[in-house]
Amino acid sequence: MNIVARQESDTRVIEATERLRALIEGGDYRPGDRLPPERDLIQDLGISRTILRKALDSLEREGAIWRHVGKGTFKSSRPSLLSDLSLLSRQVTPVKMVRARLAIEPAIAREAAINASVEAVTRLRLAGERAERARSWEEYEALDDRFHRTLAEATDNILLLALFERLNETRRSVAGTNVIRKSSKPPEGHSSFTEHRDVVAAIEARDPHAAFEAMRRHIGSVSARLFGEV
């Protein structure tokens, strides 16, 4: 398979994975519930069996589903490290939140540079590009969340993904009550765009040290812009 064909295939898998994720999250599925059989998913999503199975593989790696041969595919419950988000958010200051990010997210980027699949790198690059096209701060923040979560998924480590999710939930809660925007959307030269590209480039180059430093610089830049130096 040539490079162009491989990229097109990776893009189809990424799109199918996102559509499958939306189907699961938007459906009335509780942890432990069985999903529809493959033939139904193929018809509902309009994709091939090969693409579906790659999408299922991706969701299984991140812990969103689990499969049992002969029984089917089931929704799983994502790991939770701390149960009371509201209490946690009230106890965490912006400074402590940023320092927690500096302790964890650069290490996640380093692990992604070591372990990310070609598909995961493509998904990360596309997530960054989508964030740059955001038409409002609300849309950008959702797409920025997706970028950082995609990065955590790229580590292929369910525990790191669980750590990131709890950290990110807390970050959203803390930042939501402390950030005031002065424009309707990110400016064209928003510094996070370049910083995201630097992270992706380091991971694509399989350079753990560069990925660690790029993420450290990114979080430092964001914290300085929103909360001042920490």
Decide: residue 182, CB within 10 A, 0-12 exposed, 13-18 middle, 19+ buried: exposed
Name every residue whose Cβ is closer than 8 Å to that of residue 133 and which is 6 or more positions away in sequence: none
Sign of CA dihedral 9, 12, 14, 17: negative
The model's confidence at residue 79, banded by pLDDT at 50, 70 and 90, is: very low
Q: Where does CATH 1.10.10.10 sit in the chain?
A: 3-75
Is residue 23 over pLDDT 80? yes
Q: Where does CATH 1.20.120.530 sit in the chain?
A: 85-227
Sign of CA dihedral 65, 159, 139, 218: negative
Is residue 46 over pLDDT 70? yes
Q: Please report, to the nearest 10 degrees, the dihedral formed by the alpha carbons of residues 202, 124, 130, 19 taken in order.
A: 180
Window from 57-61, 97-101, 156-160, 161-165 with minimum mean pLDDT: 57-61
Name every residue whose Cβ is closer than 8 Å to that of residue 94 and which is 6 or more positions away in sequence: 174, 175, 178, 223, 226, 227, 230
Side-chain-side CA neighbours of residue 10 (13 Å): 17
Token pair, residue 205, equals 């180059």
Q: How far apart are CA 119 and CA 18, in angstroms?
A: 13
Do 66 and 74 form a contact (C-beta atoms < 8 A)? yes
pTM: 0.64
Do 16 and 56 form a contact (C-beta atoms < 8 A)? no
Average pLDDT across the chain, whole number: 85
The 10s digit of each residue's pLDDT in 163-190 is: 898 888 888 877 765 556 667 788 888 8
CA-wise closest residue to 130 among 121, 139, 138, 120: 139
The 10s digit of each residue's pLDDT in 116-158 is: 999 999 999 999 999 999 889 889 888 999 999 999 999 999 8
Provide the CATH topology of domain 3-75: Arc Repressor Mutant, subunit A (1.10.10)
85-227 CATH choice from 2.40.70.10, 1.20.120.530, 2.40.30.10, 3.40.640.10: 1.20.120.530
Q: How far apart are CA 197 and CA 46, in angstroms?
A: 32
